[in-house]
Chains A and B, each alone.
Chain A
């Protein structure tokens, strides 16, 4: 009799320890990946931004309508034909290590992003010629050529300001000891397990309502979902599309479902057969039923796409409409010639399903597609080398429209996986970049898109939405389309 009693006592003790709810002020958030690099200069993964946004302040931020709003910079002026940006800084701000956040620190941060070896921000900040300290509260950026998207770029990693003291001290290890001035401060990380942040008690914008913010990675969607249901985490992002309606019907949880800024679709390699033939590209694009894909594979959690600018973003235009499937047109474009090719994609249940649905849709027009799956690094590598026929690849999106189009369709652009080159498009996209008024830029984009859509180096299929699940007691989460959750004003009851 004794052994079972001991066991019971032990088990109940263990259960008590486990069942004891986390203190009301600790919020645990489930992410879909372990953020690799918590350094604004070195980060290349989308998920890094979820954590870094709490640790670092940015010069400017985005609101729910993707409008650029003040953050560290309280105001700014663009002068000299778009070549000079002058920022007035908030006074009295300190990094969490005590270093004052002044114009010199901002200059250090921006220059570090521009020049650090291995910095992934060099491209975004390539138009910046010089960062100047005017006075302790004023910093000025001089550009080598007008670059309309600059402010939007500064709402992301390029505009995050790191503590100069900490960055100089830590060197390349800064990503494991990040110090900023944001609403939360970095405490510790255990790879594949958690990243723990504490509320910054001296935050200039007021102390966050939650004391502790813990991020945990759950690469598997079912596991992420199960952890939310079981109470191990209080919020998850993203939710798998198949779980969205289940969670919406569960009275204990909230679902935030709001538009994102990215797109998904298919690249065609225009540098070699079969897709150096424009008719073939158009034929394939015409077989795709975008509505059906949104409904059947994504349970309505995505929006059919017409171009690179999702609805609700500045450059979205009603002039460009979602292409309807048209098998007659596809067959006419094929002109009786056989078309077979290999569709390159990454493994994963959703991508596999999607690839198979594409395959079936192509087949309706007599097009044969073979599916080849390789992991993401290989896919990018083969895309770079233009060693593919067609491939499935999307983009997480940028708040400024330029970030969703320029590098994709200009000759030699870093994201131009098709090897597409069109002088007219090059000229138009460069022109849009130099324009400051959004209305003028939209008009330019629409003209460029007319050509791009007709040339079809890429065909857009759907826009992702941001899907966040949380317990009912979590309040104050704002749906910012960049998909980054900001926890400063979030409360947990």
Chain B
């Protein structure tokens, strides 16, 4: 197992290097001049030249890439162009916020999709299944920004139960932290719950049609046990893969949700950085996200290998 993990890890180094190259190139290909954006409408040509030099924008691209990579490997992502604060520190501040939101959203997504998916598969083609399918379809098609504004309207403006925005850290005030994250987590969680419900429905339906399930039924086992002990276990493997992929997607979806609910997380850091052409921040955020997605897929692979030993020898 350890050999498999190590091999899997080593084989990903070239991929990660390509990712860094792409991240760097992407940011460089963005049109516009960061110096111009920082200095705004009033900039004089001298001030622009001065700033470009101090930002290192006058050096050659390979030079800029190598020096960026060398520091990034040491987790030094430079300083933000907007306010000179350390990019590493900014990310360390924002990442936990988004991770907490994503985990909360995943929890909500699980709480909805597990029962909904099972119910849908067991009661296939009944009115319950159709209602749940309708829920899943609307959940998939409702854009985050719409659902978010809808929830704010209902719970913050009409009912005045939950503040419309803001963030308090978990350590500072756990109750308020969870309350403030509730609506954003629902906004994020529903879309993923809808997808996962569909996944679970189809994989469980498939399993329920297998011979061994029929055998279990024939032996006279209660239906609940057949589903939980025999069918669900096997149906959950593809479901968990989907779950891993969803987690990566949630980090992306958080960009919009964080805007709507004014949560100072990773997504807003990225959006703001794009608007202010804060290149070091954009590069670092995209790189960290890429590494995060890579880590999730790595863990999913390890999980697979643990469940199914055949995978280790491929």
Tell me the A residues contacting B by CB distance below 8 Å.
10-11, 13-15, 17-19, 34, 36-37, 44-45, 117-120, 122-124, 172-173, 175-176, 190-193, 216-220, 222-223, 226-227, 229-232, 374-378, 380-381, 384, 395, 407, 414-415
Contact of B176 among A14, A119, A176, A229 (CB under 8 A): A14
Question: Apart from A44-B39, A191-B269, what 15 extra A-B contacts exist at CB < 8 Å?
Answer: A15-B162, A18-B162, A18-B163, A18-B179, A118-B47, A120-B47, A173-B85, A176-B85, A192-B272, A226-B156, A227-B164, A229-B157, A376-B275, A381-B36, A414-B44
Bitwise, B55-86 to A at CB < 8 A (1) or not (0) is 00000000000000000000000000011110
> Would you give the shortest CB distance from B309 to chain A, in whole angstroms?
39
* Contact count band on B: 35 or more
Report chain B residues within 8 Å CB of A34. 272
Judge if B23 is at the interface, Cβ distance under 8 Å: no
Bound-state CA distance A13–B179 (Å) is: 10
Bound-state CA distance A229–B164 (Å) is: 9
Report chain B residues within 8 Å CB of A11. 179
Contact of A193 among B51, B153, B178, B262 (CB under 8 A): B262
User: Which B-chain residue is minimally distant from A172 (CB atoms)?
Assistant: B84
Q: Is the CB of B90 within 8 A of A191?
A: yes
> Would you give the shortest CB distance from A306 to chain B, in whole angstroms?
22
Report chain B residues within 8 Å CB of A172. 84
> Would you give the shortest CB distance from A118 to chain B, in whole angstroms?
6
Q: Is the CB of B165 within 8 A of A120?
A: no
**Would you mind naming 11 contact pairs between A and B with Cβ atoms under 8 Å apart?**
A18-B163, A118-B51, A122-B47, A176-B83, A176-B84, A217-B262, A226-B156, A230-B160, A374-B32, A377-B33, A415-B42
Q: Is the CB of B40 within 8 A of A223?
A: no
Q: Is the CB of A375 within 8 A of B275?
A: yes
Q: Is the CB of A191 within 8 A of B83?
A: yes
Q: Which of B157-183 contact A (CB under 8 A)?
A: 157, 160-167, 173, 175-176, 178-180
Report chain A residues within 8 Å CB of B272. 34, 191-192
> Would you give the shortest CB distance from B252 to chain A, in whole angstroms?
17
Bound-state CA distance A414–B176 (Å) is: 49
- Which of A118, A191, A414 has most chain B Cβ within 10 Å? A191
User: Which B-chain residue is minimally distant from A11 (CB atoms)?
Assistant: B179
Q: Is the CB of B152 within 8 A of A230?
A: yes
Interface of B is mostly: helix
Bitwise, B14-33 to A at CB < 8 A (1) or not (0) is 00000000000000000111
Q: Is the CB of A381 within 8 A of B32?
A: yes
Report chain A residues within 8 Å CB of B31. 374-375, 378, 381
Bound-state CA distance A173–B85 (Å) is: 8
Report chain A residues within 8 Å CB of B162. 15, 18
Q: How many A-B residue pairs have CB under 8 A?
A: 158
User: Which B-chain residue is minimally distant from A403 (CB atoms)?
Assistant: B42
Q: Which of B88-134 contact A (CB under 8 A)?
A: 90, 93-94
Q: Is the CB of B37 within 8 A of A117?
A: no
Bound-state CA distance A219–B83 (Å) is: 18
Q: Is the CB of B32 within 8 A of A375?
A: yes
- Which of B42, B85, B149, B161 has most chain A Cβ within 10 Å? B42
Report chain B residues within 8 Å CB of A192. 94, 262, 264, 268-269, 272
> Would you give the shortest CB distance from A45 to chain B, in whole angstroms?
7
Report chain A residues within 8 Å CB of B43. 44, 120, 414
User: Which A-chain residue is minimally distant from B256 (CB atoms)?
Assistant: A220
Report chain B residues within 8 Å CB of A37. 82-83
Tell me the B residues contacting A by CB distance below 8 Å.
31-34, 36-44, 47, 50-51, 54, 82-85, 90, 93-94, 149, 152-153, 156-157, 160-167, 173, 175-176, 178-180, 259-264, 268-269, 271-272, 274-277
> Would you give the shortest CB distance from A195 to chain B, in whole angstroms?
11
Report chain A residues within 8 Å CB of B165. 216, 218, 223, 226-227, 232
- Which of A175, A230, A232 has most chain B Cβ within 10 Å? A230
Bound-state CA distance A377–B273 (Å) is: 12
Report chain A residues within 8 Å CB of B85. 173, 176, 191
Bound-state CA distance A376–B268 (Å) is: 18
Q: Is the CB of B32 within 8 A of A378?
A: yes
Q: Is the CB of B264 within 8 A of A190?
A: yes
- A191-B83, A223-B259 known; A15+B179 contact, CB < 8 A: yes
Q: Is the CB of A380 within 8 A of B41?
A: yes
Bound-state CA distance A314–B10 (Å) is: 70
Q: Is the CB of B41 within 8 A of A45?
A: no
Report chain A residues within 8 Å CB of B33. 377, 381
User: Which B-chain residue is minimally distant from A43 (CB atoms)?
Assistant: B40
Report chain A residues within 8 Å CB of B277. 377
> Would you give the shortest CB distance from B169 to chain A, in whole angstroms?
10
- A122-B47, A175-B83, A175-B84 known; A17+B40 contact, CB < 8 A: no
> Would you give the shortest CB distance from B277 to chain A, in whole angstroms?
5
Contact of A120 among B42, B163, B166 (CB under 8 A): B42
> Would you give the shortest CB distance from B275 to chain A, in whole angstroms?
7
Bound-state CA distance A15–B43 (Å) is: 49
Contact of B175 among A10, A217, A378 (CB under 8 A): A10
Ordered nearest first, which 5 A-B pairs have the shortest CB separation? A377-B37, A44-B40, A193-B264, A378-B32, A377-B32
> Would you give the shortest CB distance from A402 to chain B, in whole angstroms?
13
Q: Is the CB of B164 within 8 A of A232?
A: yes
User: Which B-chain residue is minimally distant from A46 (CB atoms)?
Assistant: B40
